[in-house]
Structure 1
Amino acid sequence: MGAGVRVCVTGATGYVAGHIVHRLLEKGYTVHATCRDPSNLKAVGHLQRMPNASELLRLFPADLLTPGAFHEAVAGCTYVIHTASPYVIDSQPGQEEEELIKPAVFGTENVLNAVNAAGTVQRVVITASTASVFTDAYERGEGHVFTEADWNVYATPTKFPYFYSKKLAEQRAYEMCKEAGGRWALCSINPGAIWGPPLSSRLDGESINQCLDLMSGVMWPYVAEIAMGMVDVRDVARAHIAAMENPGASGRYLINARSGFLLVDAVRVLRKEHPKQWVPPLIGPRFGAMLFAPMLGLPRDLCAAMLGRCPIIDASKAAEDLGMTPDSYILPESTISEMAAALVAKGMVPSFRMPIIPLVVFSVVLLLALMAVGLGLGLSALGVSRRF
């Protein structure tokens, strides 16, 4: 299908991009893969070992923030899949503009400027996120059904700046597409939390670090009921390529396997299949979740917004245009199972790491519970009636 057709994939060493490159090579496309340093075998080795890579894969050095860096890679390409983006959820106060917002927007402009300069590109697909759609599942009212028409109204440059940066970058892409006057079409893929087996041993996927923390004791002994609109990384890759190949595809696409999947559901799978790992056995209290939120790479206010709040997402557009029907998604349980198995097989799961903060919180909760029980027994012994 892809014989002789060139596709540029930006950020090719990344978690999602690796799966996209793998599928493209299997289909026979010639892939122009950009990365910071093509000579770094630790970063690009897994790409070079992919099927058909020796004949169809070309690596190009390109930094997201270097003007003109993508012109060579995009030249002669029919399609561009732009996955590269800064990922810093919890930026330093006062540094949001420099760390997140400007890089996200400029990086998008940089790639699309190369698209305009090439003159051969027919279609661009960008990796967006539900972060540009919403922050809090209830921000538009409980029961609101999110669609592609929704844009995040809650995030600001200082409150949830990562979410704000994703929105601005995606909006800027559509502005530039309009300015191009129809020379190329644009689609954006908006998945939730991306989990699933990595193709490399790099730790550049946030969910990879979260899964490792769950398995190595960092979050032991409890985990919170954090909502996860989970999507398998392989389904995300499939959606990108479907949007690229379908000439009728246009605009945004929400990708969603199961909105009601919670972090505790992931933990149940891990505990069952990896009983020797330090997977949390308990569901923790809300205030405990606030304390260990940074270990998930989440600001505490974002963790609060996700506790038990499952977004309702209408992904029917992706089903109709991209073939992403509900029964075609990899089940979240399989995603977790296969991700953990891959991490173990690659030797990426570290030995037990002492979870200081969760352990302290658990100890305090246990102490308070014992004190309450002791007080109750004491009052009973004194014949004092407890009325609440």
Structure 2
Amino acid sequence: MYMQGERVICGSFGTRFQQILHMDRIPDSKGKVCVTGAAGFLASWLIKRLLLSGYHVTGTVRDPGNEKKVGHLRRLEGAKERLRLVRGDLMVEGSFEEAVMGCDGVFHTASPVLGRSTTDPKGEILQPAINGTLNVLRSCRKNPSLKRVILTSSSSTVRARDDFDPRVPLDESSWSSVELCERLKIWYALSKTLAERAAWEFCKEYKIDLVTVLPSFVIGPSLPPDLCSTAADVLGLLKGETEKFKWHGRMGYVHIDDVALCHILVYERENAKGRYLCSSTVVDNDELASILAARYPSLPIPKRFEKVDRPYYELDTSKLKGLGLKLRSVEEMFDDCVASLTEQGYLTATTTTTTTTTSMLETTD
């Protein structure tokens, strides 16, 4: 779907979007790794990066024969030679053993997402997140070739608390309050917090080398044909629907390619240890709306949001910065996201002209 040559989409940022899709290949094999939830928004991009870096990749999906769900993976550069898709279900004990066996590394990105019509959030997201993570780790434990596990967690495991000094940026030592998440029904943050804590306990007991990546709100091009909840929320904002972003209040944002690169970086660096926050910018929704409305004047983006009372916070990403990863600006990530949505037909080129502006935000890289 994306491998159509270097055509310009929506001006200069469309060109950069195509450059990202046509990244340089490194043909030499770097070994064998597994990626769970392979058809997902982040996992698809991670697999793209891994293949371009020369890895042999085994990806787990619910149905390897569902071409609509996995076709975009099979069309990736290097997939024919170095990508294998196998069945894996978070809730089926032992279903990941075939996938992880013989792999040097495992990237566990799969995680349940709260549906819009969920009636049982604890049963539909909490237990699947915890049990699914432990299910994967139990399979990893049986693999004698395993060197390291990379778990995709979330910055929501750091910031969902009400007892911090807003003048001090939150870092990887911070953990969200389980009690606060339960009281305010912040189910996603709770599921990620409990799943990551369970992973650390398991890996400590069984001496598994674990590193966790904590992305903020991930923005950028989408490879899967169906929009994930994140891309759908961004599309809604670009079309003037403000409810979702209004309730975000203050939020961190990061480019999907930077998140994928972060996963690979902490896998490859022998000295990478513990947790890594991955976020470029933290911004109030009101400021974000102002930036996007000015940047895409032909789109019906509100220039201001209704003010929502959310605690002020910043994220300290100096630990990731120490590994040398430079993160893209909020303007770049939304430019690439808009170009992708246009390429997929969700936006029309005539409505996505952009105004070149100087970055209004400081990035945390």
Q: TM-score with structure 2 length normalisation? A: 0.81
Q: 2:319 aligns with which of 317, 320, 327?
A: 317
What corresponds to 2:221 in structure 1?
Answer: 197
1:149 is matched by which residue type in structure 2? S
Q: Identity of counterpart residues, as a percentage?
A: 34
- 1:237 lines up with 2:260 in the alignment: yes
Q: Name the aligned partner's letter for residue 306 of structure 2.
A: P
Q: Which consecutive unaligned segments of at least 5 residues does structure 2 have?
A: 1-25, 349-365
* Aligned with 2:174 (options 143, 147, 150): 150
Report the structure number with the largest CA radius of gyration: 1
By how many angstroms is 1:257 displaced?
Answer: 0.7
Deviations 1:222-271 (CA, angstroms, capped at 9, x unpaired)? 96783221111111101000011011111101112122x23344434543
Q: Residue 87 of structure 2 aligns with which residue?
A: 61
Q: Please give the residue correspondences for 1:340-379 in structure 2 after superposition, counting only pairs within 5 Å.
A: 340-349=338-347
Distance 1:91 1:116, change over 3 A: farther
Is the CA contact 2:148–2:210 (under 8 Å) kept in the aligned structure 1?
yes
Shift of 1:97: 2.3
Query: Residue 306 of structure 2 corresponds to which residue in structure 1?
Result: 285
* Residue aligned with 1:252, SS: strand
Asked whether the equivalents of residues 97 and 157 of structure 1 are also in contact (C-alpha less than 8 Å), the reply is: no
Distance, in Å, in 1 between the alignment partners of 2:247 and 2:334 is: 17
Shift of 1:144: 3.1
- Corresponding residue SS for 1:54: helix
Specify whether residues 225 and 118 from structure 1 end up closer, same or farther in structure 2 by C-alpha distance, changes over 3 A only.
Answer: closer
Q: 1:168 to 1:239 in 2, by over 3 A?
A: same
The 5 A counterparts of 1:146-225 are 146-153=170-177, 155-158=180-183, 159-181=185-207, 184-204=208-228, 206-219=229-242
Aligned length: 319
* Secondary structure in structure 1 of the residue aligned to 2:227: coil
Corresponding residue for residue 11 of structure 2? none
AA aligned to 1:244 is Y
Which residue number in structure 2 is paired with residue 113 of structure 1? 138
Query: Are the counterparts in 1 of residues 33 and 55 from structure 2 also a CA contact under 8 Å?
Result: yes
CA distance in 2, matches of 1:171, 1:89: 23
Q: Which amino acid aligns with 2:338?
A: A
RMSD: 2.3
Q: Taking structure 1 as reference, are residues 273 and 50 closer, same or farther at Cα in structure 2, changes over 3 Å only?
A: same
- Whether the aligned pair in 2 keeps the contact of 1:89 and 1:160 (CA below 8 Å) is no
Q: 1:92 offset after TM fit, Å? A: 4.6
In the other structure, the counterpart of 2:61 is 35
Structure 2 residue aligned with 1:8, among 4, 24, 34?
Answer: 34
CA shift, 1:77, in A, is 0.3
State the Cα distance separating 1:4 from its structure 2 match. 5.6
Query: Which amino acid in the other structure matches residue 285 of structure 1?
Result: E
- Structure 1 residue runs of 5 or longer lacking an equivalent are 290-303, 351-388
User: Which residues of 2 match residues 35-114 of structure 1 at below 5 A?
Assistant: 35-88=61-114, 92=118, 95-114=120-139
The question of whether the paired residues in 2 share the 8 Å contact of 1:80 and 1:125 is answered with yes
Cross-structure match for 2:351: none
SS in structure 2 of the partner of residue 145 of structure 1 = coil
Q: Amino acid of the residue matched to residue 331 of structure 1?
A: S
